[in-house]
């Protein structure tokens, strides 16, 4: 379950094919499908002219405007990294008798982390975690924590396996109270630390992602834990970390970050030995025979003949000098 510091509200359901009209810029947005929903809005894939973009619809204009300014600030800080989705416009649209604020931004085409790993295989868990840590580390270097780490906020391109972070609404300056979080990945919910934005908060969430991918806690257990205290949840987590895992190396790498005080860099280092033992890039393997075949059938050209003649001439010269030296 996701939480934020704003009051949760009901948002309109927009059917595919429905057209919205921007009241200020005059643009039209045609709904393609729902991408996701959360405590502060719903996100739809829409046509904006000839391009597909993400449209986030909220209820409170002030809240969405603050989110827009927040994203602009984050974008300015880490502009060169390219990890923040491109922002377009902030608009108002009329639906029935009501006016709703909408935020238009770049659409990231990909599948979420859970879906990617389930289809590619468990050998991808370490690689995906490692790539995610590299992205979040960029935010830390600029003084921000991502905070709302969860599978839906990390999308992977199916062909290139390149990850992108989405939903930057929870990004918080390090040292401040967390803006948005999801209980399962929240350090405070598990009784392992405060709900303050810092590097260890993100490291805990990333490690919990790894746990859920490699040794998942059943939904029934999570429902039962809802009624428990943070101390009881912490004891349950200890049991999960002591039990046998199919990937013992990953269990050991995640143990310290799940205590709640380990920085992201340390988790990154702990995963490196596992990364070196993992080679899940089936696409590269599939291309390897083709490259070998191309090398076998490559024709001997003029450059190759010239190189061969040069080597033979050099060898003959060295042999001649050696023979003269023996006289």
Domains and CATH numbers, the chain: 2-106 (3.30.200.20), 111-276 (1.10.510.10)
> What residue ranges in the chain does DSSP mark as E strands?
2-4, 19-21, 28-38, 41-48, 51-57, 87-95, 98-106, 111-112, 144-145, 154-156, 163-165, 172-173, 180-182
Each residue of 71-89: pLDDT tens digit? 888 888 776 566 788 889 9
CA dist 262 and 148 (Å) reads 18
Nearest to 151 by CA among 201, 192, 113: 113
With contact defined as beta carbons under 8 Å apart, do 25 and 91 qualify? yes
The mean of the pLDDT values for the chain is 85
The per-residue pLDDT for 212 is 97
Q: How far, in Å, CA of 189 to CA of 225, rounded?
A: 10
Residue 93 CA to residue 57 CA, distance in Å, equals 9
Query: What DSSP string runs through 292-308?
Result: HHHHHT----HHHHHHH
Distance CA 50, CA 125 (A): 36
For residue 222 the two structure tokens come to 């999570």
What 234-241 contacts at long range (C-beta under 8 Å, 24+ apart), as own/partner pairs, is 234/190, 234/191, 234/192, 237/190, 237/192, 240/211, 240/215
Active site residue 148: yes
Enter the pTM of the model.
0.77
299 labelled binding-site residue? no
Percent of the chain having pLDDT more than 70?
A: 81
Q: In residues, how long is the chain?
A: 327
**pLDDT tens for residues 189-219?**
999 999 999 999 999 999 999 999 999 999 9
Q: Could you give the CA distance from residue 50 to residue 80 in angstroms, rounded to a whole number?
A: 27
Q: Which of 148, 167, 186, 198 is catalytic?
A: 148
Structure tokens at 233: 């949840």
Tokens (6 digits) for 167? 């939903």
- In three-state secondary structure terms, 321 is helix
pLDDT one-digit tens code per residue, 89-129: 999 999 988 999 999 999 988 999 999 999 999 999 999 99
Examine the pLDDT at 291 and tell me if it is beyond 70.
no
């Amino acid at each position: 379950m996701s939480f934020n510091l704003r009051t949760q509200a009901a948002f309109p359901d927009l059917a595919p094919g429905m057209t919205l009209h921007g009241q200020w810029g005059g643009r039209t947005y045609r709904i393609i499908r729902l991408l996701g929903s959360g405590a502060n809005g719903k996100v739809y894939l829409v046509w904006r002219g000839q391009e597909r973009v993400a449209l986030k619809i909220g209820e409170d204009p002030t809240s969405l405007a603050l989110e827009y300014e927040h994203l602009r600030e984050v974008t300015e800080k880490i502009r060169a990294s390219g990890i923040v989705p491109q922002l377009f416009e902030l608009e108002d649209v009329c639906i029935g008798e009501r006016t709703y604020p909408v935020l238009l931004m770049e659409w990231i085409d990909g599948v979420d982390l859970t879906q990617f790993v389930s289809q590619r295989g468990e050998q991808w868990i370490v690689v995906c975690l490692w790539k995610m840590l590299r992205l979040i580390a960029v935010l830390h270097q600029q003084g921000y924590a991502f905070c709302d780490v969860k599978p839906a906020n990390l999308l992977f391109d199916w062909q290139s396996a390149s990850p992108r972070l989405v939903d930057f609404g929870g990004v918080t300056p390090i040292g401040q109270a967390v803006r948005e979080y999801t209980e399962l990945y929240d350090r405070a919910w598990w009784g392992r630390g405060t709900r303050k934005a810092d590097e260890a908060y993100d490291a805990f969430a990333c490690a919990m992602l790894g746990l859920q991918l490699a040794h998942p806690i059943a939904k029934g257990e999570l429902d039962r834990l809802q009624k428990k205290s943070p101390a009881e949840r912490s004891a349950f987590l200890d049991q999960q970390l002591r039990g046998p895992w199919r990937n013992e190396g990953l269990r050991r790498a995640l143990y310290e970050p799940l205590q709640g005080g380990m920085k992201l860099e340390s988790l990154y280092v702990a995963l490196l030995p596992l990364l070196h033992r993992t080679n899940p890039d089936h696409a590269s393997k599939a291309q390897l025979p083709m490259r070998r075949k191309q090398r076998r059938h490559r024709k001997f050209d003029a450059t190759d003949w010239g190189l061969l003649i040069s080597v033979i001439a050099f060898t003959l010269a060295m042999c001649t000098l050696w023979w003269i030296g023996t006289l």
